[in-house]
Amino acid sequence: MVSTSIRDVVRPYGIQGLARIADQPDEFVAAVEAALAEDAAERLRQVDAFLTQTSWDGTWTRMYRLINAAMAAEESGTPADSLPAAAPGVA
């Protein structure tokens, strides 16, 4: 996969080496050519292994819990900085 530097693609896919990031036309062409020349089966194994750790359902569940915690904190007067942080890798 090749993408421009969209934040949600750069982190985590670009950082994990699962996507190439290119913003200029010549960089994009070079990234596509490199992607076409690589071992697609190995890339797919890496991507599949990463994607088993994440899902839209998991992201929704984490966001739902964070929103509920924030609403409960607001109702109880708890400072926002005492709320749990989002899990690593969650944008």
Per residue in 44-69, pLDDT (tens digit) is: 999 999 988 888 888 899 899 999 99
Longest dimension (CA), the chain: 57
SS3 3: strand
Tell which residue, 46, 49, 22, has the closest CA to residue 34: 22
**Residue 3 pLDDT class (50, 70, 90 cuts):** very high
pTM above 0.95, yes or no: no
**CA count, 13 A, side-chain hemisphere, 87:** 12
What φ, ψ does residue 20 adopt, rounded to 5°? -90, 140
